[in-house]
Structure 1
Amino acid sequence: MPQQLGFDLPSRTALDRDAFFVAPCNAVALGMIETWPNWPGGKLILTGPQGAGKTHLTHVWAQTSGATIISAADLVGGMVPELAQNHVAVEDVPDIAGNVDAQNTLFHLHNLLLAEGRNLLLTGTKAVTDWSITLPDLDSRLRGTTAAAVDAPDDTLLSALLVKLLGDRQLAPKPEVISYLLDRMDRSFAAAIDLVERLDAASLAQQKPITRPFAAAVLDKDTPDT
């Protein structure tokens, strides 16, 4: 089975399907992406916390479908006809909860895409019922859209992620270091990426291996003793 460890790192950007590590927290959402173009009503919503992998899945779908990806906050009315010429993914829809113009644009984009037989993917960090969309017609359409959750990663997935990200940088700390990091990091892909970047930068700057005391000092933003 292909692995999901594709993230934005200075050395490499991997957001394709072969870089996707499948785990219980994202298997349902991935399954829905892979059922395209058979989505109910031609549309799908991905929900989940920041760093859970929604953007990665969005890019997987875009590579498969040729879709255009745009942030909800960047939507303006005049772009609807051009956007609707392709399938479209709109990210971070809750960000326009207070933006009536962007909500109207998304409403018209939604209707035109479906009328033209094209597909729409939307993402947000919360459940759709908590998106606080104030345009009633748009809100009703979003609530009627099939949604799949991308849950925060568990310890098994985070551990595999840390090992892979460190290995990509030719770093191989002992298992006890991985366990130590897991006990102290935020439970998200984004936190794992940030932590590995910090460890790598400190290791290079000080020309020292990543030991448990070294990792502790990096987490505390202190200078390691070992």
Structure 2
Amino acid sequence: MAQQLSFDLPVRQALGREDFFVSPANAAAVGMIEGWQGWAARKLVLTGPAGSGKTHLVHVWAALSDAKIVAAQALSEADIPALASGNIAVEDAQTLAGDRDAEEALFHLHNLALAEGHALLITASKPAQHWGVHLPDLTSRMQGTAMVALEAPDDTLLTAVLMKLFADRQIFPAPETIPYLIPRMPRSFAAARAVVTALDEAALEHGRPINRTLARQVLDKLAV
């Protein structure tokens, strides 16, 4: 059988619901996103580490609810009434901590969007009480918002994440590669992304197929 080589093709991230693999580690979050019309007070905070699927679920929710998506750090320059005119998702809310203008913008967006009957989804790397927000009114609003977390991946989910990351890069490793990686790599989404990137770069640099041998060499290098 011919070996699969890696080619320098553009990365195309698939963000549809059909591309999101459900496992016990994320089932609660997926259920909340799909059942968004039942959110308490029409708002939700979605937490999880980098690469855990928050952005993917935001895009799933935006498609379901016809929502806009905005980065938290862009709020200080945004047209808040325009954003509040429909359902809205704010990504990476922890990044606005200490930025008074951005904190006030999120506070006003929260109040205005909900007052006009729209839904608000906020993502962050950690629960609101750990953001370090200085504005007391915003802190109370966020801590009073229902939260659901994306958990660390189990074997099934980590396998699916690796498959998706490879597919996003339009490469297909030898069948034994992912089973080799699963018990040997750090159990995090960030590590999965780093491993796939390193494998792709190594395959391109040396013109080699992505297989168990290359996976072992890349893991050894990353562990140094």
TM over 0.5: yes
Per-residue Cα deviation, 1:146-186 (whole angstroms, up to 9, x for no partner): 11011121223212332454465132242xx4344234433
How far apart in 2 are the matches of 1:169 and 1:28?
31
Residue equivalent to 2:138 = 138
Residue equivalent to 2:5 = none
Per-residue Cα deviation, 1:92-144 (whole angstroms, up to 9, x for no partner): 11111111111111111111001100111001111222122211111111111
How far apart in 2 are the matches of 1:78 and 1:197?
34
Amino acid of the structure 1 residue aligned with 2:215: A
Q: How many residues of Structure 1 are paired with residues of Structure 2 in the alignment?
A: 212
- Mapping of 1:175-214 within 5 angstroms? 177-214=177-214
Quote how far apart the aligned CAs of 1:220 are. Answer: 4.3
Amino acid of the structure 2 residue aligned with 1:218: V
Return 196-205 or 10-19, whichever deviates more: 196-205
Residue equivalent to 1:65 = 65
Quote how far apart the aligned CAs of 1:221 are. Answer: 4.6
How far apart in 1 are the matches of 2:196 and 2:77?
41
Residue equivalent to 1:170 = 172
**Pair 77,170 (structure 1): closer, same or farther in 2 beyond 3 Å:** closer
SS in 2 for 1:122: strand
Quote how far apart the aligned CAs of 1:49 are. Answer: 1.1
Q: Give ranges in structure 1 of 5+ residues lacking alignment.
A: 1-8
Amino acid of the structure 2 residue aligned with 1:64: L
Quote how far apart the aligned CAs of 1:14 are. Answer: 0.9
Any conservation in 1 of the 2:23–2:156 contact (CA below 8 Å)?
A: no
How far apart in 1 are the matches of 2:50 and 2:11?
22
Any conservation in 2 of the 1:173–1:210 contact (CA below 8 Å)?
A: no
How far apart in 2 are the matches of 1:163 and 1:92?
25
Quote how far apart the aligned CAs of 1:219 are. Answer: 3.4
Per-residue Cα deviation, 1:16-61 (whole angstroms, up to 9, x for no partner): 1111100111110110111122211010110111111111111100
- % identity of equivalent residues: 53
C-alpha RMSD of matched pairs (Å): 2.2
Larger RCO, structure (CA 8 Å, separation 6 or more): 2
Residue equivalent to 2:99 = 99
Per-residue Cα deviation, 1:56-94 (whole angstroms, up to 9, x for no partner): 111100111111111111112661111111211111111
Any conservation in 2 of the 1:26–1:150 contact (CA below 8 Å)?
A: yes
How far apart in 1 are the matches of 2:76 and 2:154?
38
SS in 1 for 2:79: helix
SS in 1 for 2:123: strand
How far apart in 2 are the matches of 1:77 and 1:164?
34
**Pair 29,78 (structure 1): closer, same or farther in 2 beyond 3 Å:** closer
How far apart in 2 are the matches of 1:50 and 1:178?
21
**Pair 153,21 (structure 1): closer, same or farther in 2 beyond 3 Å:** same
Q: Give ranges in structure 2 of 5+ residues lacking alignment.
A: 1-8
Residue equivalent to 2:6 = none
